[in-house]
Structure 1
Amino acid sequence: MHIGLLEDDPQQAELVCNWLSAAGHDICHKANGSDFLEACKHQLFDMVILDWELPDQTGIEVLNTLRNIEQNNLPVLFTTQRDSEEDIVAALSAGADDYLIKPLRQAELMARLEAMRRRAGIESPSEVISLGPIVIDSRKRSITVHGEAIKVTQKDYEVALLLLSNIGKVLSREFLLKTVWGVEATLNTRTVDVHVSRVRRSLKINPDMGYCIKTIFQHGYRLEKIPATTMSINSNDK
């Protein structure tokens, strides 16, 4: 898994990074909230580990920011020396999925992360991704819709692959520019909007198929499943 670690204690961070690396995980470590939130714009984490006490803000504030930019499906583990019931409730109420009190123990940390992975339904990436009638085969670099081959540009293919590989996750324009075009956000982000629009049209992603690409204001895009109740209402309105 790709795990984001927010920890300002260098020794603690090194220890946790070593544990995670030994277990085969990829880690991005930041020592303050601002740098961590900036990293979230350019990277997709499977889950994050947040420290409470930070030099520029609290872990709770970082978590609130993540939720406000609609990173609603991102599993979060809080680690802190705070052990009062009030603090634990505050972290969980803010949206943390689990809470560990320092000093951390390797076996317990790994067990908690594994439990979070199972609850979140995080699986190893597949070479073939299916979404309703859409099938993307990364080996052949092909896309079919209802069994019909769809011709798209190389950039559109890469944008589509990222969206379908990350259902429910917000992909920032900065992240898409960096990943697909290999550039920082100095390029006009309108480029991203044009390609996402083409992907939506080419792959016929609309409410009728049960999914939509939602625009997240001033941030990016998220491919999400439309609840069955909403589809039923829309169908009755036709």
Structure 2
Amino acid sequence: MRIVALDDDALQLELFRRAIEGMGHACRTHLTGASLMKDMRRETFDLLIVDWQLPDTSGPDVVRWVRENVGTHLPILFVTSRHEERDIIEGLGSGADDFMIKPVRVGELTARVTALLRRAYPAVSSGTMEFGPYRFVPDSRTLLISGRTVELKNREYDLALFLFQNMGRLLSRDHLREIIWGHSADVISRSLDTHISRLRSQLDLRPANGYMVTAVYGVGYRFEAVTPRPDDGPATGSAPPPAAADTASAP
């Protein structure tokens, strides 16, 4: 997972980074609200940790901006020295999902982060997952379209499943590269584009099948469910139209 933390204290940010990386997640840090907002316009994250008192804005204002510009899916955890009831009410009322009072206890931080991630991103089931004509079988890492098995390489399968599980989310290029190739992988940009292009073809991702993946300039990709239209053509695996009956009389 990719987690971003905002705090005006560099030592506090280092504590967050160490704790989160110790959980196996990637962590990016920011000292100002402006820096965070600039980053979030071109990158995507799975969870935000935010302080209340910042040099250029306030935590609640940042949370409101995120909800208006990023969406409601992103889990947000307030970590602040503000502890009165009215502060907790305002923090949660601005759109945050949880509230933690400083000083930070690493065990509590990791427990709250784990709980928020678990609620927002349920673990992959070992059972079959179906999305319209697409059926994923995680145990055998198999994908079927209308009952037909599609041959995918490991990374292609991982990318396809991740896209379906994050339907509707805008995912940055770096986010996708880290998920599929790992945090330390040095992957050229065109490699991701090639994998997306292959999936479009292999999975026949087009409106007639109810799904499409769209490039978002300067950011990444968005995978969406769409409503087929009559002029989109037949769905994959659908039966061809019946042939016209021969009504000509016999000679």
- Is TM > 0.5 for Structure 1 vs Structure 2? yes
Q: Give TM-score, length-normalised by structure 2.
A: 0.62
How far apart in 2 are the matches of 1:212 and 1:3?
Answer: 27
How far apart in 2 are the matches of 1:66 and 1:215?
Answer: 22
How far apart in 2 are the matches of 1:146 and 1:53?
Answer: 53
Using the TM superposition, give the Cα deviation of residue 109 of structure 1 relative to its aligned residue in structure 2, in angstroms: 1.0
How far apart in 1 are the matches of 2:59 and 2:35?
Answer: 13
Look up the SS of the partner of 1:96 in the other structure.
coil
Percent identity over the alignment?
A: 36
Q: Which residue of structure 1 aligns with residue 66 of structure 2?
A: 66
Q: Which residue of structure 1 aligns with residue 27 of structure 2?
A: 27
The 5-angstrom pairing of residues 1-238 of structure 1 reads 1-123=1-123, 131-134=131-134, 145-148=145-148, 163-171=163-171, 222-223=222-223
Using the TM superposition, give the Cα deviation of residue 59 of structure 1 relative to its aligned residue in structure 2, in angstroms: 1.8
**Structure of greater Rg:** 2
CA deviation string 1:3-45 (max 9, x = no partner): 1111220111111211222222211111112222232234332
CA deviation string 1:93-136 (max 9, x = no partner): 1211100111111111111112212222343699x985332357
CA deviation string 1:163-219 (max 9, x = no partner): 435224233699789x9xx899xxxxxxx9xxx9x9889856688877677999x98
How far apart in 2 are the matches of 1:20 and 1:14?
Answer: 10
Q: Give TM-score, length-normalised by structure 1.
A: 0.64
Gaps of 5+ in 1: 185-191, 232-238
Look up the SS of the partner of 1:18 in the other structure.
helix
**RMSD across aligned positions (CA):** 4.5
Q: Which 10-residue stretch deviates more, 202-211 or 3-12?
A: 202-211
Look up the SS of the partner of 2:117 in the other structure.
helix
Inter-CA distance 121–174: structure 2 relative to 1 (3 Å threshold): closer
Q: Is the 8 A contact 2:76 2:96 kept in 1?
A: yes
Q: Which 10-residue stretch deviates more, 61-70 or 83-92?
A: 61-70
Q: Is the 8 A contact 2:3 2:47 kept in 1?
A: yes
Look up the SS of the partner of 1:52 in the other structure.
coil
Gaps of 5+ in 2: 181-186, 228-251
